[in-house]
Structure 1
Amino acid sequence: MPETDLVTLDVADDTGVATLTVDRPDRLNALNVDVLEGLREGVAEAEAADARTLVLAGAGDDAFVAGADISYMKDLSTPEAQAYAELGHDVARDLETFPAPVVAAVDGYAFGGGSELALACDLRVASESAVIGQTEIDLGIVPGWGGTQRLPRLVSDEVARRMVFLGERLPAEEAESVGLVGEVVADEAFDEHVAELAARLAAQPQFALGAAKEALNLAHEEPLHAGLATERRLWSGLFGTHDQREGMAAFLEDREPEFE
């Protein structure tokens, strides 16, 4: 478990789903240094436990993560702010490069750094009451944990600029319409739906999912020819694995596959 009690990690032995929860509901799960360090430890522990899917969530009924801790940031010097930014980037990168799918369970407010952590996840599921925004401009700053780079890769450039320039807060349905989240679920069904999605992902062939994630991530970072070369390498490298043999045999035998 992470050393701080502000972050909890639960790994379900039967499904391989790990749930990493920011547990600071009295502060709307705001991200201070202890929380960020706890998230880093939690992600590393989930990887060490060979989790097949990771769910990122926030405790309580009001917020996923309402943002960075403003009371902590207020009087930071430039070098201190740089260190804080680097820590936030480290956590986002750990989520982005986690070797299995990461699902952001966005229930309630996801502002500033909370939105940025969700952007670093593979999939985003929002509750009907969720509201998402890059609200840093209201504080006299800009997104500092990847928002200016990941957001326009996910939504249109116009939407990203409006969110960053104006601090626009998007209700869940609007966030879905612009592609910021993949789906919106009724509040009362949210937890069950996220659990079902995570279990479905965890039941997929593990090595193939990891390869797919690596290739998809490169689509935002490499020229087309480099990404295609990586795809060829990953695709061919899966041949000879148990899951490839089993998946194709099951298809030919008209039965459900039994992946490792």
Structure 2
Amino acid sequence: MNAEPILLCADREGVRTLTLNRPHRKNAISRELWIALRDALIAAGDDRSVRALVLAGSGGAFCSGADIATPDPTHPTYKLRNLTAVAELLHNLPIPTIAKVDGVAVGAGWNLALGCDFVVATPGSSFSQIFVKRGLSMDLGGSWLLPRLVGLQQAKRLTMLAETIDADQAHKLNLVTWVVAADEIDGFVDELTGRLASGPPIALAQTKALLNEGADRTLHDALANEARAQAANFATGDAQEAFAAFTGRRTPEFTGRWAVPRPTSENTEVEK
């Protein structure tokens, strides 16, 4: 009998859910799981039918971090390439991403959640930048993410003391977007992803990129990027659809389709 996959993938109404599936290790990410996650993120970014992505864990945990207990002869340089690829792919994914956290989110597991656009957690969830307790420094983008989310001093507190905090504390620090009861989190995430998946895909992708890029750009850069993004938005049918739906008092149906008329032979010069 074949073993159950270490990464589960399910699609529903434009929403793809990737579930880390190593419950016996609290979903600690092995080399094989890093590779599977990397490949799954590439596939999600290339599939235009996917309008939102959810990351979750099985067996009552989100992710206990990288699996450092399982022997792996791979040189750390090569190991970290997979981690780096996952962090960059998640950050650059042109669709909204949601971490659904129920249980522990530790080390790279917590930074995996923080790499998502939204984090929904249950009251019983716990979080730790546990790295220094393992004689390590942070990875998976933690050194970039945390100071931007909580400020430098709180980032130092979380990483240098490696404290474990609960969902309420994480929410107060802006590290969790919503805290939802365990028996309500599935419905909450379904409703949230439904709203995101029905939104204008190009405008959402541009908005996400602008906010991500704006974290370390000048105002001049941000304005130039906004102008570039808005031009791309106006070239889709979604802006026209939104106006038509508003005037028609109906719900818009966004597709992200290109809506600029194609040149005709009458107004196109043929290169000779």
What TM-score do the two structures reach when normalised by structure 1? 0.92
Alignment correspondent of 1:143: 138
Alignment correspondent of 1:53: 52
Aligned 8 A contact 2:15 2:193 in 1: yes
Q: How does 1:31-180 map to 2 (within 5 A)?
A: 31-50=29-48, 51-61=50-60, 63-72=61-70, 80-180=75-175
Counterpart Cα distance in 2 of 1:18 and 1:203? 14
Counterpart Cα distance in 2 of 1:256 and 1:151? 38
What is the one-letter code of the residue matched to 1:189?
Answer: E
Structure 1 range deviating more: 19-28 or 149-158: 149-158
Counterpart Cα distance in 2 of 1:220 and 1:178? 18
Structure 1 position 242 matched with structure 2 position 241 = no
Aligned 8 A contact 1:95 1:121 in 2: yes
Aligned 8 A contact 1:11 1:46 in 2: no
Unaligned ranges ≥5, structure 1 = none
What's the Cα RMSD here? Answer: 1.6
1:37 CA drift (Å): 0.3
Counterpart Cα distance in 2 of 1:93 and 1:240? 27
Counterpart Cα distance in 2 of 1:212 and 1:31? 30
Aligned 8 A contact 1:136 1:142 in 2: yes
Q: Deviations over 1:151-176 (max 9, x none)?
A: 11111222111110000111001100
Other structure's SS at 2:44 match: helix
1:222 CA drift (Å): 2.3
Alignment correspondent of 2:8: 8
Alignment correspondent of 2:17: 19
Counterpart Cα distance in 2 of 1:204 and 1:153? 27
Unaligned ranges ≥5, structure 2 = 256-272
Q: Which has the higher helix share?
A: 1
Alignment correspondent of 2:265: none
Runs of 4+ in 1 over 6 A off after TM superposition: none
What is the one-letter code of the residue matched to 2:154?
Answer: V
Q: Deviations over 1:16-75 (max 9, x none)?
A: 0000111000100001110100101111222233210000111111x10011112147x8
What is the one-letter code of the residue matched to 2:253?
Answer: E
Counterpart Cα distance in 2 of 1:180 and 1:233? 30
Q: How many aligned positions are there?
A: 251
Larger radius of gyration: 2
Other structure's SS at 2:69 match: helix
Q: Deviations over 1:166-217 (max 9, x none)?
A: 0011100110001001110001111121111111110111111111111111
Structure 1 range deviating more: 250-259 or 85-94: 250-259
- The share of aligned pairs that are identical, in percent, is 38
Alignment correspondent of 2:261: none
Aligned 8 A contact 1:67 1:115 in 2: yes
Aligned 8 A contact 2:14 2:197 in 1: yes
Aligned 8 A contact 2:198 2:253 in 1: no
